[in-house]
Amino acid sequence: MAKLQANILFVCTGNICRSPFAHAFFTKLVNQKRLRGIAVESVGLLALPGNSATYMAQRVAEEFGVDLAEHKAKSVSKELVAWSSLILVMEKSHEDTLLTDFPEAEGKTQLIRHFARFGSKRRGIADPYGLKYDAYRFCFLDIEDAVLGLIDFLSEP
């Protein structure tokens, strides 16, 4: 059992599709692997606080054994940025916005795909909002790969 100290913040646009899935899937794996000392949150840069995850996000997340039914969107804040030891964004534009609004995030912010096991580590994860099932499924498979890579990284001695 690994003993770590990490406060991880997943960031997307509205905190209703990508970052909630990353948060919930990551939490599931942390619990399965019995990793300790890891805390996790998710936020949106343009979130409407209190919004639930989209219906399609909830539906696809269920396929991965993740329940987003109780998720409520929240906005990024100075406090959460300060709390974070690692901030993982879905797109380069998220990183740019975050660093403009919160310069203190410099040095601890990167694309979630930095941890991907397959494909480019430099590309973003496309936003499925408003699209059909296949777009959500592809998005979540992309996040799954990155989160599994992150778990591997955190599990290393």
Q: Which position among 12, 113, 139, 142 bears the catalytic label?
A: 12
E-only strand ranges, 13-85: 36-44
Residue 18 annotated as catalytic: yes
Phi-psi sector, 19: left (phi>0), alpha (psi -120 to 50), beta: alpha
Q: Which position among 18, 139, 142, 145 bears the catalytic label?
A: 18
Residue 12 annotated as catalytic: yes
Q: Both ends of the chain: CA-CA distance in Å?
A: 10
Residue 59 annotated as catalytic: no
Separation of alpha carbons 128 and 154, rounded Å: 28
Tokens of 61: 């997340």
Q: How far is CA 154 from CA 1, 77, 144, in A?
A: 11, 25, 15
Q: How many CB atoms lie within 10 A of CB 96?
A: 12
Q: Which position among 17, 67, 127, 145 bears the catalytic label?
A: 127
Separation of alpha carbons 14 and 44, rounded Å: 5
Catalytic residues: 12, 18, 127
